[in-house]
Amino acid sequence: MTNDETGRLLSEIGQLLARDTDYPLDGTLLYAEVDDNYVAPSIYKNTPDQIVYRHPDLRDLGDALLDLWRAQTGNARWEEIEYVLSDGKFDATFTYPDEIDRDEDRMDRRDRIVKRHFGDKPIFYPPWPYDDDVPRYEL
């Protein structure tokens, strides 16, 4: 992956995160797991009293993350990205397969990463926005 291509894709991801105008862009964490045809992004906003989870738009953000992942060259591809926006700048950290503890629960890992960036505040997960459209069945 060239530095130009990496920079372009990372800037695109920042622009996609900026679409959420309900919270300031400053204090945003995008944590995502990415693999071949798989992307699992989580977005968090740091507020004074809590950390707020924001539902990602998988269409555009998922495509941008997969493009970034696919643009890598070589055999060792990263599996996780931590993308933090602070003071008008972003910092992206990539985690490679040999750096991941496979015995750690994915959700525990995600929560630990959020706390590392934003401290030990409660994380608020709002209701899934599509809950009304999901059919429910009783057994």
Long-range contacts of 100-108 (CB under 8 A, 24+ apart): 106/33
* pTM for the whole structure: 0.88
Query: Mean pLDDT, the chain, as a whole number?
Result: 90
Structure tokens, 111? 């929560």
Reported confidence tier of residue 133, pLDDT bands at 50, 70, 90: low
pLDDT band for position 1 (50/70/90)?
Answer: very low
Distance between CA atoms of 16 and 65, rounded to whole angstroms? Answer: 11
Q: What is the pLDDT of residues 81-124, one digit of tens each?
A: 999 999 989 999 999 999 999 999 999 999 999 999 999 999 99
pLDDT band, very low/low/confident/very high, at 5 (cuts 50, 70, 90): confident
Beta bridge partners, 42, equal: 31
